[in-house]
Amino acid sequence: MEISIGTRKSQLAVAQSQLVADELKNNFPDYQFNLKKMSTKGDRITDRALIEIGGKGLFIKEIELALLKGNIDLAIHSLKDVPSQIADQFEIVATPKRANPLDVLISKEDQTLDQLAKGAKIGTGSLRRRAQLLNYRPDLEVVAIRGNIDTRIKKLSSEDLDGIILAAAGLERMGWEDKITQYLDPKISLPAVGQGALALEVKRDNYSIKEVIKKINDRDTFDAISAERAFLGYLEGSCKVPIGAYADLEGDSLVVEGMVASVDGSRLLRAKVRGLRSEAKELGVKLAKELVEQGASEILAEIKGAE
């Protein structure tokens, strides 16, 4: 049996999709798993912020269309690129074991966030990272940058930045850990929903493929991201809003932390809930409601009103 896997054609996307293909091959040695590398609108337009061109769903639309047409059997996405609501025709059936979910700093002089000079210029394309950085260090100048990992690392020099913030998972999957200056504590920068995890998406009615894919599902990761995505879905979050969440397992308990902030970081709300992992989605919603009680709705309304 031959299974076609759709992936973005960036170096990182191909590398992480190949890891999944290799894991599937180990479980099904008689099957053929072929990568189909695709260009998405989010990849092609790199001179504008995602919020200006339609949001993070732009990294998956073309791949989902290929899935719908039957040109591919399986789509692999970075989970943080997948909107909290996907079309009814599709289903995320599995998540392999999550990589490091943290944000990291790469700085020009190998200085930590606390060591950077007053007014240092930091590059990031994420409103979530921007808001949390400015909340922690209001003196920083945060500059918007886009592009794949190596492009953003080059911008450290080409745009005269003092540092950039990236996801640890991408650097570690590329074997570039040596470039990392500092892993940022979640107290400073809470990760994006699903950061470090991969989403294996198929057509909902493709039962034979679902049975194959479920073989490599990591239950711990799946439960954690279910809570995070339920949190995001309740708040109707997108890349236009500074929202972060991270769920971690402690035995049979799931601890979920969430954050909502104003774009300038002047207001930042946090909350944490704990409960049974079997109630992951309910925990995510409970967390969202706690932040709403703290005033998250007002922050979200202000951001939407300013768009």
Residues known to be catalytic: 81
Q: Is 264 left (phi over 0), alpha (psi -120 to 50) or beta?
A: alpha
For residues 250 and 224, give the distance between their C-alpha atoms in angstroms, rounded to a whole number: 11
Q: What is the chain's alpha carbon radius of gyration, rounded to the nearest angstrom? A: 19
Measured from the Cβ of residue 202, the count of other Cβ atoms closer than 10 Å reads 23
What is the spatial order of strands in the sheet that 253-261 belongs to? 243-250, 253-261, 268-276
- C-alpha distances out from residue 100 to 40, 45, 171, 236, Å: 25, 28, 10, 25
